[in-house]
Structure 1
Amino acid sequence: MNALPREDRIAVSAELAQGRVARLEISARRPVGVGRLAFGKPADGVVALVPRLFALCASAQRAAASCALAAARGETVPPEQMAAQAGAVLAERLIELLRGSITTFAGDRPPTFAPQLRELIAAARRFDGRSALDAEAIDALAHGLDALGLSEHNFEDADAYGIWFASGSPLAPPHSARAPSSGVRAEGRREGASPQSQAPATPAPESDFAAIAIDPLNADDDCVVGEQLLQRGASFAARPDLAGRMPETGALARLADHPLIRSVGIGLTGRLLARLIEARETPRLLHALRRGDADATAILQATRLGEGVGLGAVECARGRLHHLIALDSDGRIARYEILAPTEWNFHPQGPLARALIGAPLHVTEADRQRVVSLVAAFDPCVGYDVTLREAADA
C-alpha cells in the first residue's frame, strides 16, 4: 500500500544454526505517508485524493479514509453507502487475492490465467463504492471464478476440496506442486486414470514448518489501535504493537476457524488455501450485502475516538487497514495517519518471525525458496528479498 512511488522493499534475513533458524532480521524501507501532504488541507479534498496515491487497494484506501472522516465529523454513514463501499472493497479484495496467488505460485503458468483474470477485473470495476450493488456484476464475478476453476462448492469440506485438488482445475497444479511440503497428499491414484476416476487428494497432517497459532487482529482492537496512532503517530504505524501483542491480519487470520483450514493446517498450505476460499466466497457475500442480509461493518467500520477524531478500518486483501483523521477547529486536517496490514505481519517479532524462528532450514536454494514462498503467502504490499546464512558467517 505504497503512498508515493519509491523503491520500497522488505528484507528478510535468517541466521541458521544446527539446521534451524536461530535469528531473524526483518527490515523495511517503508513508503512516505500522507500526513505531511494532508496537514492543513480541506478534509474532503484530501479524502478524494487518497485513492490516487496508492498503487494497491485503492477502493480499500478510499473506504478507510471516508469512514475515518465521517467518524471525525460525528456523522453516521448511511447503510446504502456502507454497503456500496463494502462491495467495492470485496470486489477489489477478490482480485488482489487471486492476482497474488497466481503470480506468486503459478510458476510459468500466469499467461494461462490471463483471460479469466481480465474477465474478473472487468467485473470488479463495476463496483465503484457509490452505486447500489448490481446483481449482474456479482454474477459476472461468480462466472469468472467458475472459468478459473474455482466453483462454488470446491471448499465446502475436505471431501470437496480433495475432489477439486485431483480434478485438473487450472489452479490445482500450482497449488498441488507444493503438496509434499505443505501437507496435502494424493492417495490411490492409478497410472493413466482420469481425474474423475482417481481417488481424491486428502489433507494430511502438515509439517510444522511455518505453522503457528493465529492471534488475529480484529475490530475489538480498533480503539486501542486508534489511540496509539493518535499518541505515537508514525512511530506506531511503522512498528505497531498492542501491549506486546503483534497479531496477524489477512485472509488466514479471518478464516483461521474455517473447518477446511483447520483440517489442512495453519501453515503454508493453509495460507494459500485461505486466499482461494475467501475469493470464492465473495459473490455470496456480495449478494447478501445487496439483499441486506450481511452486515457491512464486518468489512469496514467507522469509530469516533473523540471530538474531531475518527478511525476507519477496512478488511482488505492483505488484512485490516486503518486510517486515522483528526480535524482542527476549521474542519481541516490536523493529523492523518495510516497503518497498513503489512506492518503487523512483517513486524520483527510478528507473525512471519514467529513462523520462522526455530524452523528447520539449511543454506540451500531449495530452502531459500521455501522462505520466499512463505513471505509471498503473507502477501506484503512491497517487494522483498530473502537471504539465508549460517551463524558462523554472521
Structure 2
Amino acid sequence: MNAVARDDRIAVSAVLAQGRVARVAISARRPLGVGRLAQGKPAEAVVALVPRLFALCAAAQGAAATLALAAARGEPVPPHTLAAQASAVLAEQLIELLRGTITSLAGDQFPAFAPQLRVLIAAARRVDARGQLEPDAIDALADGLEALGLPEHSLDDADTYRSWLASDAPLAALHGAGAASPGLRGEASPESRAPASDAPEEFDFGPQPIDPLTATHDPAIGHALLHHGASFAARPDLAGRIPETGALARLAGHPLIRSVGPGLAGRRLARLIEATTTPQRLRALRRGEAEAAGLLRATSLGDGIGLGAVECARGRLHHLIALDRDGRITRYEILAPTEWNFHPQGPLARALIGAPLSAGEAGRRRIAALVAAFDPCVGFEVELREAADA
C-alpha cells in the first residue's frame, strides 16, 4: 500500500534439508508512510489527501483515515457516511480479490480476462448522490462475475464447489489448474486421480489452523502503534502472536473452507467466495439491512487519539491519528495487512516451514504461488536453496 512511488519488494528465501523446508527468511523494503508528511498539518487536509497517496486500496485507506480522525475528535461518523464508505470498500475489495486471483493464475491467458475486469472496474466506480453504488452498478458487478464463471451461490458448500470445478467456467478452469489440491478433504483431488505422483510439489501448503486477526485486537494494536510507532508497524505482534489477516482469516469458519482446508487451494478459494457474496452485501447495505461495523470500526484511545480499522481485500488495515489542541496532527501511523502475513514468523513462514518440496525451479514456483495467494501489496521475489548451498 504505497504512499510514495518506489520499488518496494518482499524477499522470501527458503532453505531445504532432506526434502523439506527447514528455514525461511522474509525481508522487505517497505513503503514510505505518510507520518512525516502529516506531522504538524491540519487533520482535515491530511485525511482528504490520503486516498490520493495510495495506488492500491485507496477507498480503504481513505475510510481508515476518516474513522481515525473521527475517533480522535470523539465524534461519531454519520451513518450515511459509514454506509457510503462500506459500499466503496466492498466494491474495491471485489476488484482487488479478482485482480489478484486472475493476475496470479492466468499467465498468458490474462488478455482474455482483461475486458471483463475493465467492465467490473467501471461498475465499481458508479455511485449515487449518497455515495453508495448505484443499483444498476451492483447488477453489473453480479453480471460480470457470472460472465467470469462465478455466479452467486456457486461456492456455497462442497456440492456446489464440485459442480463449479466440473463446469466450463473460466475461473473454475484457472482455479483447478493452478491449485495444488483443489479437491475436498478426504476426497482425492483431480491431480491425485491422475497417474500416481509422489512429487513434493503436489503438497498443499499450510496445514496449521488459522489464527485470524479480528476487531477484538484493535485496542491492543492501537496502543502498540501509539507507543512503538513505525517499529511496531514494520513488525507487529500481539504478545508473541502473529495472526493472519485477509480473506482466508475472515472465512475461517466457512463450511467450504473447512472442507478444502487452509492450504494454497483454500487461500485462493476464499478470495473467490468473498467475490461471489459482494453484490448481495452491497444490496443489503443499500436496503439498510447490513451494518458497516463488520468492515469499518473507529476506536478512541484517549483524548485526541483515534484508530480507524478497515477490512480491505488483503486484510485488516489500521490508521492511527493523534491531534494537538489546535487539531493538527502530531502522530500518524499506518499498519498494513501485509506486515502481519509477511512477518518473519508470521502466517507465510508458518505455512512453509516443514513443507515437503523439491529443489529447483518447480519448487521455487510452488513457493511463489503460495506467496501470491497471500496477495502482498508490493512485488516479491523468491529464492530456494538446498541446505548444503546455504
Mapping for residues 187-206 of structure 1, pairs under 5 Å: none
Distance 1:135 1:43, change over 3 A: same
Deviations 1:348-390 (A, max 9, x none): 0000000001111122211111100000000000000001111
Q: How many Å separate the matches in 1 of 2:224 and 2:129?
A: 29
Mapping for residues 323-362 of structure 1, pairs under 5 Å: 323-362=319-358
Q: Does 1:392 align with 2:382?
A: no
Query: Aligned residue for 2:360?
Result: 364
Mapping for residues 285-296 of structure 1, pairs under 5 Å: 285-296=281-292
Following superposition, the deviation at residue 186 of structure 1 comes to 4.2
Following superposition, the deviation at residue 179 of structure 1 comes to 4.6
Mapping for residues 48-59 of structure 1, pairs under 5 Å: 48-59=48-59
Partner of residue 213 from structure 1, selected from 204, 209, 212: 209
Q: How many Å separate the matches in 2 of 1:169 and 1:318?
A: 25
Query: Aligned residue for 2:110?
Result: 110
Q: How many Å separate the matches in 2 of 1:26 and 1:20?
A: 17
Following superposition, the deviation at residue 286 of structure 1 comes to 0.7
Query: Aligned residue for 2:230?
Result: 234
Following superposition, the deviation at residue 211 of structure 1 comes to 2.6
Q: How many Å separate the matches in 1 of 2:162 and 2:3?
A: 41
Q: Does 1:319 align with 2:315?
A: yes
Unaligned runs of 5+ in 1: 190-205
Following superposition, the deviation at residue 334 of structure 1 comes to 0.5
Report SS of the residue matched to 1:360. Answer: coil
Query: Aligned residue for 1:197?
Result: none
Report SS of the residue matched to 2:170. Answer: coil
Q: Does 1:151 align with 2:147?
A: no
Q: How many Å separate the matches in 1 of 2:167 and 2:316?
A: 34
Following superposition, the deviation at residue 107 of structure 1 comes to 2.1
Identical amino acids, percent of aligned pairs: 73
Unaligned runs of 5+ in 2: 194-201
Query: Aligned residue for 2:71?
Result: 71
Following superposition, the deviation at residue 292 of structure 1 comes to 1.2
Following superposition, the deviation at residue 209 of structure 1 comes to 2.5
For the aligned residues, what is the CA RMSD? 1.6
Q: How many Å separate the matches in 1 of 2:129 and 2:30?
A: 28
Report SS of the residue matched to 2:22. Answer: strand
Letter of the structure 1 residue corresponding to residue 349 of structure 2? A
Contact 2:310 2:318 in 1 (8 A): yes
Following superposition, the deviation at residue 119 of structure 1 comes to 1.0
Contact 2:175 2:182 in 1 (8 A): no
Contact 1:152 1:280 in 2 (8 A): yes
Q: How many Å separate the matches in 2 of 1:116 and 1:239?
A: 38
Letter of the structure 2 residue corresponding to residue 12 of structure 1? V
Contact 1:88 1:128 in 2 (8 A): no
Deviations 1:89-127 (A, max 9, x none): 000000000000001111211111112111100010114
Query: Aligned residue for 2:141?
Result: 141
Distance 1:276 1:360, change over 3 A: same
Following superposition, the deviation at residue 132 of structure 1 comes to 3.8
Following superposition, the deviation at residue 181 of structure 1 comes to 4.0
Q: Does 1:283 align with 2:279?
A: yes
Query: Aligned residue for 2:243?
Result: 247
Deviations 1:310-363 (A, max 9, x none): 000000000000000000111000000000000000000000000001111122
Report SS of the residue matched to 1:312. Answer: strand
Following superposition, the deviation at residue 183 of structure 1 comes to 4.0
Distance 1:107 1:129, change over 3 A: farther
Q: How many Å separate the matches in 1 of 2:382 and 2:127?
A: 37
Distance 1:40 1:146, change over 3 A: same
Count of residues paired in the alignment: 377
Query: Aligned residue for 1:42?
Result: 42
Query: Aligned residue for 1:6?
Result: 6
Letter of the structure 2 residue corresponding to residue 391 of structure 1? A
Query: Aligned residue for 2:298?
Result: 302
Query: Aligned residue for 1:199?
Result: none
Distance 1:80 1:367, change over 3 A: same
Report SS of the residue matched to 2:289. Answer: coil
Q: How many Å separate the matches in 1 of 2:129 and 2:117?
A: 21
- TM-score, reference length from structure 2: 0.94
Query: Aligned residue for 1:89?
Result: 89
Q: How many Å separate the matches in 2 of 1:375 and 1:100?
A: 12
